[in-house]
Structure 1
Amino acid sequence: MSAASVTAVVVTYNSAGYITRLLDGLSESRALTKIVVLDNASSDDSVAVIKARPDFGRLTLIESSENLGFGAAVNKAVEAESRSSEFVAVINPDVQLEEGVIDRLLGRFSVPELAAVGVQLTRTDGTPVSSARYFPSRASMLRRVAHEVEPEDAYREVDWICGAFMLWRTTAFVQLGGFSSRYFLYYEDVDICKAAWDAGWRVAIDGSERAIHDQGHGATTSSYLRTVNRQSRRRYAARWLGASGVLASVTADGIELLGTLLRKARLRS
């Protein structure tokens, strides 16, 4: 597997503070044959930082005139630059990979049905963060909880892996049609893994491999992004859980809204 071709696909959006760290790490990977960065109409210096790199000629930079959303941007990059590679590594710009991670993960694809594999994601201090979860159910949506797969230093099959780092077999990614256009952000990783399992593929995590993930560029989730998350949750429910799933999701939205209103009322009193 060491001779396999791998393309790294990175979607940036106001990522100037993180992209150098990621690209420095990727430049050390022996497995990577290509790095594709699609910038989603950043308003910061992301594009300038990328173009100023001494290894810029090794990168392919695609500048979008509008923010396409995460999944659509990855799909565009794969369509434009990555189909000729055997594997596609989808990596968030706020991720830092340990040396040799991609190279070692390729050995896991000796399992012919394996579509994608992830790694254990942690904060800088080593605290585990969401890396793999069980699929949402009507009950979990109604209770507004996500059931995490407990971290283990082992390889094992899981329902879905976090989109911050996913190493895909390109044939599987293309067969599935890439990420669904239903989602601008959030739940596109859950959705594609559900589609993969339904199509007879497998999804796994290698907990012995790690990467740092500064979630959301280290910023607190804004009210806008929380709204986008709720919208994506409803779309996932509509596709995979039917009318009762949508009802559970809408009810969860109402509970969250009520909680927000009560907190604001307490602050005023």
Structure 2
Amino acid sequence: MTPALSVLVVTYKSGADVDTCLALLAASRIDRPYEVIVVDNASGDGTAERIAAAWPDIRVIAETTNHGFAGANAIAYAAARGDAILLLNPDAYLRDPDAVAVALAHLDAHPQVGAVGLRLVFEDGRHQVGDAGFEPRPLTVAVHAAGLSGRFGLRGVYLSGGQARAPGPVSVDWLCGAFLMLRREAVEAIGGLSSPLFLYGEDVDWGCRVRDAGWRVEYLPDRSVVHLQGGSGSTRSPRWLDGLAGVYRLRNGGRRLSSPAFFAVPLWLGFTARAAVYGLLGRLRRRPDLLGRSRDMKRFADHLTNI
């Protein structure tokens, strides 16, 4: 039977996360035939072999080279047969067994929608900033840097917490690749799942290209997927800024204000100011969480000096 949905999972030394991911996927209530394709990016730790042994119905493609997120998804897409394509990170957990069915139903009901995503949360239920947003342009970067996303109707690079609690679907420019469902026609319209970006930012690139091709990109805030993203209490890596800078260069090449300075300087100022504010409040209120945020902001600001 030809599957209606292809679920693509890219692994790289994913440990036990992918086992939980696949178990929750198998327990989901999906109302149509689907296939699962796992591409392992040369983990070298037995991940591919373990999945193949534990899940005989899953197609496992074991690569000998690390192709990055986009490259591995392009390999999986070439093998996919479904009309709907779901990119699912190995650390994305479908605690809601109807999450996939809801996304599929949204595509069914809205033929002009080319991509749909759900609200991403940490294990404690907090909204995960970075699950959707708007095209990285000088204005959206400046809005995000100033902490004004969602205020006064302003759009930043990322959805704010308030925007992510909207009562209905939100039209956005891109969706996080941790849970990203795409219509095959939309993928074909952008030439597949290739990207010049190796890691981080590919999903922003794809979403903007899907929108440019005339499709709507929509975010459903009333359904959620747990995304570990390194865990809610761990140190956040600043590498996401490299990916965002890469997308900024792609999307603004040849335009005014396309210099990396118009990306890095506003963010540096914003992160530096937030580091100071969070640090002061953390000490005055004896709040370790605010001190942790201050350290994150300082690390992000320091990283920007290299961009």
In the alignment, which residue of structure 2 is the partner of 1:246?
259
* Deviation of 1:209 (Å): 1.3
Contact 1:6 1:88 survives alignment (8 Å): yes
- Out of 220, 229, 232, the position equivalent to 2:235 is 220
Partner of 1:49 in structure 2? 50
Report if the CA contact (8 A) 2:115-2:183 is conserved: yes
Taking the TM superposition and a 5 Å limit, the aligned residue runs for 1:1-269 are 5-29=4-28, 30=30, 31-53=32-54, 56-79=55-78, 81-82=79-80, 84-97=81-94, 98-109=96-107, 110-130=109-129, 131-141=131-141, 145=145, 146-149=157-160, 150-152=163-165, 153-216=167-230, 220-222=235-237, 226-227=238-239, 229-243=240-254, 244-247=257-260, 248-249=262-263, 251=265
The worse-fitting range, judged by mean Cα deviation, of 159-168 and 234-243 is 234-243
Q: 1:66 to 1:169 in 2, by over 3 A?
A: same
Following the alignment from structure 1 to structure 2, what is the Cα–Cα distance between the partners of residues 20 and 38?
A: 14
Question: Is the contact made by 1:13 and 1:41 (CA closer than 8 Å) also made in structure 2?
Answer: yes
- Once the two structures are TM-superposed, the CA of residue 177 in structure 1 deviates from its matched residue by 1.7
Report the alpha carbon displacement of residue 141 of structure 1 after superposing the two structures with TM: 3.6
Question: TM-score scaled to structure 1, two decimals?
Answer: 0.83
- Taking structure 1 as reference, are residues 232 and 10 closer, same or farther at Cα in structure 2, changes over 3 Å only? same
SS at match of 1:57: coil
For residue 275 of structure 2, what is the aligned residue in structure 1? none
- TM-aligned CA distance change 1:40 to 1:32, over 3 Å: farther
Q: Distance in 2 between matches of 1:262 and 1:237?
A: 17
- Structure 2 alignment gaps of length 5 or more: 146-156, 273-297, 303-307
Distance 2:190 2:106 in 1: 20
Task: Spell out, residue by residue over 1:218-257, the C-alpha distance to the aligned partner (whole angstroms, 9 max, x if none).
Answer: 65344xxx35x44433332222113522332354698789
Quick one: structure 1 residues 144 and 133, their matched pair in 2 at CA, closer, same or farther if it must change by over 3 Å?
Answer: closer
Deviation by residue 1:138-185 (Cα, 9 ceiling, x = unmatched): 144467734324222522322221111011111211221233421011
Select the structure with the greater relative contact order (CA < 8 A; seq sep ≥ 6).
Answer: 1
- CA deviation after TM superposition for structure 1 residue 261, in Å: 11
What amino acid sits opposite 2:4 in the alignment? S
> Partners in 1 of 2:105 and 2:57 — Cα distance?
25
Structure 2 distance, partners of 1:201, 1:168, is 10
Give the 3-state SS of the residue equivalent to 1:245 in structure 2.
coil
Q: Give the SS at the match of 1:112.
A: coil
In structure 2, relative to structure 1, the CA distance for the partners of 1:253 and 1:105 (3 Å cut) is closer
State the Cα distance separating 1:262 from its structure 2 match: 9.8
Contact 1:179-1:189 within 8 A present in 2 as well: no
Amino acid at match of 2:83: E
Percent identity of paired positions between Structure 1 and Structure 2: 27
Q: CA deviation at 1:67?
A: 0.9
Q: Give the Cα separation in 1 of the matches to 2:236 and 2:43.
A: 18
Which letter maps to 1:47? A
Contact 2:38 2:60 in 1 (8 A): yes
Q: Which amino acid aligns with 1:138?
A: P
- Helix, strand or coil at the partner of 1:36: strand
- How far apart are 1:199 and its partner, in Å? 1.0
Give the 3 Å change call, closer, same or farther, for CA 261–102 of structure 1 in structure 2.
Answer: closer
Distance 1:181 1:159 in 2: 17
- Residues 189 and 164 of structure 1: is their aligned pair in 2 closer, same or farther, counting only changes over 3 Å? same
Q: Deviations over 1:101-124 (max 9, x none)?
A: 111221212211111100011111
| Structure 1: runs of 5+ lacking an equivalent | 264-269
